[in-house]
A = this chain, B = another copy of it.
Amino acid sequence: MVNGNQPLRIATGTARAFEVHKGQMAEIVTPEGPQVADTWAFALPDLDEFLSTEHTRSCLDRLTPGVGEAFYSNRRRPILTIVEDTSPGCHDLLLSACDVGRYTLLGHQGYHANCIDNLDSALREMGLAAPETPSPVNVFEKVSIDADGKLHIEPPLAKPGESLTLRAEMDLVLVVSACPMDIVLTNGSDRRPKPIDVSIVSANESTGSSVNTTMNS
């Protein structure tokens, strides 16, 4: 869907923030296969409005939006619409982002890179701060639900080069973190965190333009 521009590589275990204008599209690609991209969106200039997983579920009466459906903000407005999904369509809206406490509970000693600190630092690089810490959209994460409500994190099904493409329904800042999890199966059966690529293009650039917008962010 999003062609003609150079994607920005998000290095393994780090995050980047992108200014995305209404109508522009963000393509989130997993270049090396099974890897989760924790994703947040905050409206600009008023960051008090942001993508909310619980409002998305309430507005859609679904666990996860499909192609043509939107993620909703905490003000129940569409904020990002899924315009294309070349992956198997497994994305998690149930689990919190990893933080230092998550790794400590998993037995890790000392500091561990994590998506919450990544969110904060990516916004800080743009001179922004999140007014709240919303639950993320865990792009490419596969979480199965048992009949008794038990949750199982399984290796992502996404293959190298598969992508999720989102259209911004308002001006916003998009934050994408290449999740650094290396203990449980979040990033594959090899437990190896990998990079994520992101391209931001305008709708009229989505066929053929060579303008590299992501490098200016």
Residues of A within 8 A of B (CB): 52-55, 57-59, 61-64, 74-76, 94-96, 99, 101-102, 105, 131-133, 135, 145, 149-153
Contacts and interface: CB of A to CB of B under 8 A. Distances in A.
Contact of A54 (B76, B95, B132, B149): B95
A90 B51 CA distance: 27
Contacts of A152: 61
Contact of A135 (B64, B105, B135, B150): B135
Contacts of A57: 94-96, 151
A129 to B, nearest CB: 13
Q: Nearest 8 A-B pairs (CB), nearest first?
A: A63-B149, A54-B96, A54-B135, A76-B101, A132-B132, A58-B96, A61-B151, A55-B96
A52 B151 contact: no
A74 B133 CA distance: 9
